[in-house]
Structure 1
Amino acid sequence: MKASVGVCGVFVLALLGFGSAIKCYKCKDYSGTCSKIRDCYYDDACVSIYERGGDTYRECIKYSDCVHSVIAEKFPKISSFKFSCCTSDLCNTAPVSVSSRSVVGILLSLALFWWGVL
């Protein structure tokens, strides 16, 4: 009897975790620096909308609305954009720039080459 009560208690606590909401960045910026954080609803995702040649919008959106046509309807002033949706806390942060990844890759390649030559 005690074991079944314990198992039920663990099960209920686990279910409570599944319904928890995520946190997303919420801002409109050009530089990729965003510090405002918002608590979203349990069925939300974080979205980043990249306006061509312009701003980046970050906020909560219903996960089911993570479709290009729906986002275009919700943001009618943005004519050309790319977007990404994600479902973990603060996952809509600014991406690491490609140039910094390239520099690290080049330096690592040079170090391995140098080490192999010596």
Structure 2
Amino acid sequence: MHRCLGFFLLLFCGTLQMGSGLSCYKCADYTGQCENVQECTSEDSCISLSDKGGKTIRQCIRYTYCSNSRLSQLFPDISNFNYRCCNSNLCNSGNAVATATPALALALAASVLSVWWSWI
């Protein structure tokens, strides 16, 4: 019984740390292919920002900066763009649509733990 509790506590604590150590693709090019990976330090999201000319910028960013007005300030040379911010590892690739969050993982772990706890 104690082994199971230890396993679920380890699982629960591991999901709490999912938000730390975020990795994002980092590049600025016209190819749409990006292989450089950046370890985010103080940022909590990844961004993929594309201008109408076909240039795409991928990097770490603070989620609070993910708005048209703030991004226009951060990228003043780009006047017309589309962007997508996300917060799971390498979610800013060309084809990614990942939107998993640490809060979602925490909720899932809490529900699994509560179901398990009710069985003992």
Is the shorter-chain TM-score for this pair beyond 0.5, marking a shared fold? Answer: yes
* Matching of residues 65-104 of structure 1 within 5 Å: 65-95=65-95
**Alpha carbon RMSD of aligned pairs, Å?**
2.8
List gaps (5 residues or longer) in structure 1: 97-118
**Cα deviation digits, residues 59-108 of structure 1 (max 9, x gap):** 00001111111111000000110100011111111128xxxxxxxxxxxx
Greater relative contact order structure (CA < 8 Å, 6+ sep)? 2
**Cα deviation digits, residues 36-74 of structure 1 (max 9, x gap):** 100013642000101012300000000111111111100
In 2, distance between residues paired with 1:89 and 1:46? 8
Would you say the 8 A contact 2:43–2:60 is kept in 1?
A: no
Query: CA, structure 1 residues 30+13, in 2 after alignment: closer, same or farther (shift >3 Å)?
Result: same
SS in 2 for 1:21: coil
SS in 1 for 2:17: helix
SS in 2 for 1:28: strand
In the other structure, the counterpart of 1:114 is none
* Matching of residues 4-15 of structure 1 within 5 Å: 10=10, 13-14=13-14
Shift of 1:14: 3.9
Q: Percent identity over the alignment?
A: 39
In the other structure, the counterpart of 2:28 is 28
User: Computing the radius of gyration over CA atoms, which structure comes out larger, 1 or 2?
Assistant: 1
In 2, distance between residues paired with 1:18 and 1:42? 14
In the other structure, the counterpart of 1:104 is none
SS in 2 for 1:50: strand
Query: CA, structure 1 residues 18+69, in 2 after alignment: closer, same or farther (shift >3 Å)?
Result: same
Aligned residues: 94
Query: CA, structure 1 residues 49+11, in 2 after alignment: closer, same or farther (shift >3 Å)?
Result: closer
